[in-house]
Amino acid sequence: MDLFQKCKNFTMAEDAKAAGIYPYFHALESRQDIEVIMEGKRRIMLGSNNYLGLTTNPMMTQAGIKAIEEYGTGCSGSRFLNGTLSLHLELEKELADFLGKEATITFSTGFQSNLGIISAIVGRGDYVICDRENHASIYDACRLSYGKMERYKHNDMTDLENILKKIPKDAGKLIVVDGVFSMGGDIANLPEIVKLAKKYNARTMVDDAHGLGVLGKGGRGTASHFGLEDEVDIYMGTFSKSLASLGGYMAAERYVIEYVKHNSRPFIFSASITPSSCAVALESLRYLRSHPEIVDRLSEISQYAREGYAKRGIKVRESSTPIIPIYTYDYTNTLVTAKLLFDNGVYVNPVLPPATPANECLLRTSYMASHTEQILDEAMDIIAETLKQREII
């Protein structure tokens, strides 16, 4: 069979376009903010990971401009060779200090961070144990490693322990979990995971892409949220969400960082973060550190949204994060509802298989510290009216 036959057979996108419900690749014509211009019309943005609202902060834009003027537009090489700037080292030092770890290392993207960390750490004869709702980058990282992957039911500690019991005692074991799950917005049961890791001689890694700037003291993440800063072996996170930039990081003990720096193929063979991305991440980190109240504001606005949905008869999952899913269950129903909301001026993210089980499709809404109560009321009224029209509520 021709290699491209699978491409010819793929009609899902064209079918959705023909039906007028294709939800992807909408073009932004303005900055990433609480309101955007998308395809010529004002939309209230409830689909961004810009949790602290810093992408439009003048301090961040000026930091990026200054870095380009000083260092140019790119690094033209990997960190391993010619691509290390003093800015990278400065960011890594301040990030390690903020997170309370000995050292950090930065990667070009968050996805690449998971690829680079797990594929370097987990080798032949080792095991990596994952929550079933972990991010796709973690699954791809497991495939890239030479270890064996095991999966436990979402946040099910009994299932996790049953898996750990079956793994040879002398095998290397890494438990990897999202701190905040990106679709459901719920938080990992980190206290129990840490207990089980100690019991079965395993190491722990938390993907805090959606936890940094959201949870913990001053936004330090999931481990801080539970008071487990010294118990989690590896933190991973991104700059593309709370820190308003692009890139990712790993934080751990220095000897672990040194090992990854010299053994991670995605790190060694990728160009480093651009000067502007690095400078913006650094400036955002400094802003977060000097304005911890912004994390409290994010929590307040997220709670306001939850209460607003409850008042309007919309059922959402209980949590304390700025990710609030609205379940629409059916594939077509989800796409039609998302399209109606888009036409009515509210942008949300439809989430479909394989990101969810087939009967648990949802509209993922997410919130920023810069949202106002007034604009959320406007958006929630539109959502409630649309869901009533669709007979979802």
Domains plus CATH for the chain?
A: 5-51+292-389 (3.90.1150.10), 58-290 (3.40.640.10)
Q: What is the pLDDT of residue 357?
A: 83
Q: What is the mean pLDDT of residues 151-180?
A: 97
Q: What is the pLDDT of residue 358?
A: 82
Express the helix, strand and coil content of the chain in percent, nearest 5 each: 45, 15, 40
How many Cα neighbours within 13 Å face the side chain of 69? 6
Torsion sign over Cα 113, 28, 347, 225: positive
Q: Using CA atoms in the order 266, 249, 190, 254, what is the torsion angle rounded to 10 degrees?
A: 90
- pLDDT tens string 339-380: 999 999 999 999 998 888 888 899 999 999 999 999 999 999
Residue 106: pLDDT band (50, 70, 90) is: very high
Residue 248 has pLDDT above 90, yes or no: yes
Distances (CA, A) of 234 to 7, 63, 93, 227: 39, 29, 16, 15
Cα(172)–Cα(167) distance, rounded to whole angstroms?
A: 9
Judge whether 241 counts as a catalytic residue.
yes
Residues 6+ apart with CB under 8 A from 290: none
Cα(234)–Cα(138) distance, rounded to whole angstroms?
A: 14
Distances (CA, A) of 172 to 126, 129, 258, 264: 5, 11, 19, 18
Q: What is the pLDDT of residue 286?
A: 98
- pLDDT tens string 270-279: 999 999 999 9
Q: What is the pLDDT of residue 261?
A: 97
* Percent of the chain whose pLDDT exceeds 70: 100
207-221, 295-309, 345-359, 371-385 — which is least confidently predicted?
345-359
Q: Is the distance from CB of 267 to CB of 107 less than 8 angstroms? A: yes
Q: What is the pLDDT of residue 298?
A: 98
Which candidate in 88, 135, 173, 241 is catalytic?
241
Residues 6+ apart with CB under 8 A from 368: 34, 45, 48, 50, 51, 52, 53, 298, 301, 322
Which candidate in 88, 101, 173, 210 is catalytic?
210
Distances (CA, A) of 354 to 74, 133, 136, 286, 300: 35, 11, 10, 37, 32
Q: What is the pLDDT of residue 266?
A: 95
- pLDDT tens string 7-47: 999 999 999 999 999 999 999 999 999 999 999 999 999 99
Q: What is the pLDDT of residue 77?
A: 95
- pLDDT tens string 50-97: 999 999 999 999 999 999 999 999 999 999 999 999 999 999 999 999
Task: Quote the Cα angle for 54-57-58, to 5°.
Answer: 155
Q: Is the distance from CB of 198 to CB of 226 less than 8 angstroms? A: no
155-169, 321-335, 350-364 — which is least confidently predicted?
350-364
Residue 200: pLDDT band (50, 70, 90) is: very high
Q: What is the pLDDT of residue 318?
A: 80
Q: What is the mean pLDDT of residues 128-145?
A: 96
Q: Is the distance from CB of 345 to CB of 42 less than 8 angstroms? A: yes
Backbone angles phi, psi at 127, to 5 degrees: -125, 140
First to last CA, the chain: 48
* Percent of the chain whose pLDDT exceeds 90: 94
Q: Is the distance from CB of 196 to CB of 157 less than 8 angstroms? A: yes
Q: What is the pLDDT of residue 362?
A: 93
Q: Which residue, chain included where needed, has tokens 């989690």?
A: 232
Which candidate in 119, 145, 182, 264 is catalytic?
182
Judge whether 210 counts as a catalytic residue.
yes
Mean pLDDT score across all residues of the chain = 96
Q: Which two tokens stand for residue 271?
A: 């160009």
Q: What is the pLDDT of residue 353?
A: 87
Q: What is the mean pLDDT of residues 327-339?
A: 93
Residue 323: pLDDT band (50, 70, 90) is: very high
